[in-house]
Amino acid sequence: MIRLLLVDDQALVRQGLRRVVETSQHLEVMAECDDGDQVLDALQRHLIDVVVMDIRMKRMDGATATGEVRRVNGPPVLVLTTFDDDATIAAALHAGAAGFVLKDAPGEEIIRAIERVAQGDAWLDPAVTARVLASYRRADRPAPSDLERLTPRELDVLRVVGRGATNAEVADELFISQATVKTHLSSVLTKLALRDRAAAIVFAHEHALLDSPPPS
């Protein structure tokens, strides 16, 4: 069972989201908050596996609240947003969100996103992520020595993961086992000091690794 904390300043949105997730036998809503400044207190009172949080709230926005959750090593955060909310999506990703899902996404997609994030994966729509992060690419892209820490295969894995691929999809594309993908990705995160898969995806986009030649 995946235990959820729902965070949105609109009661109707929370009710609708609860109805969606309760169609799954694997999801259970443990608590709700009506603003981001209540999240840490809720996490102290409930065992939560995934926080599902609106990006725009009155007192504390979702990006700031996500940063607070990450600061205390809390559960992964999946943010709810709209298609054209680029600045706040980028802010949430930089704050450490494990992914984002559009508010008008089908219920099945929202459930899949929650399940993926609970498993330690990221849920980032590749097209939206590329657009959102395009204007946020760092001018100071890593010096060659930063990426030279990676083996050629690790760099291949990072490029494919950067497109939002699952471990199974990376394994199929690179003709390696999923266990090998996990090993390479763990090494990438360590060498580049990245906290998780979502951070690796953001890194790949911001440093134009997806523009590099595809893996051979």
As for how many domains the chain has, the answer is 2
| Cα 153 to chain centroid, rounded | 23
101 in a structural domain: yes
User: Token digits for 27?
Assistant: 């999801």
Mean pLDDT for the stretch of residues 135-161: 79
**Of the residues 88, 105, 134, the one at which a domain ends:** 134
48 lies in the same domain as 6: yes
pLDDT digits (tens, 9 = 90+) for 34-83: 999 999 999 999 999 999 999 999 999 999 999 999 999 999 999 998 86
- Per the structure, the complete domain to which residue 152 belongs is given by 144-211
CA–CA separation, 136 and 113 (whole Å): 24
25 in a structural domain: yes
**Of the residues 82, 103, 134, the one at which a domain ends:** 134
123 lies in the same domain as 154: no
159 lies in the same domain as 77: no
Confidence of residue 137 (pLDDT cuts 50, 70, 90): low
151 in a structural domain: yes
114 lies in the same domain as 148: no
126 in a structural domain: yes
CATH code of the domain covering residue 176: 1.10.10.10
**What is the pTM (predicted TM-score) of this model?**
0.84
pLDDT digits (tens, 9 = 90+) for 154-209: 999 999 998 888 999 999 999 999 999 999 999 999 999 998 999 899 888 888 88
Query: Cα torsion at 41, 42, 47, 50 (round to 10°)?
Result: -110
Residue ranges of alpha helices (H) inside the chain are: 11-21, 39-45, 62-71, 86-95, 107-118, 126-134, 144-148, 152-162, 167-174, 178-191, 197-206
139 in a structural domain: no
216 in a structural domain: no
What sign does the dihedral 1-124-97-39 (CA atoms) show? negative
88 lies in the same domain as 62: yes
79 contacts 91 by C-beta, under 8 angstroms: no
CATH code of the domain covering residue 58: 3.40.50.2300
69 lies in the same domain as 91: yes
- Tell me the three state secondary structure of residue 5: strand
CA–CA separation, 62 and 13 (whole Å): 15
Candidates 87, 101, 20, 86; CA nearest to 53 is: 101
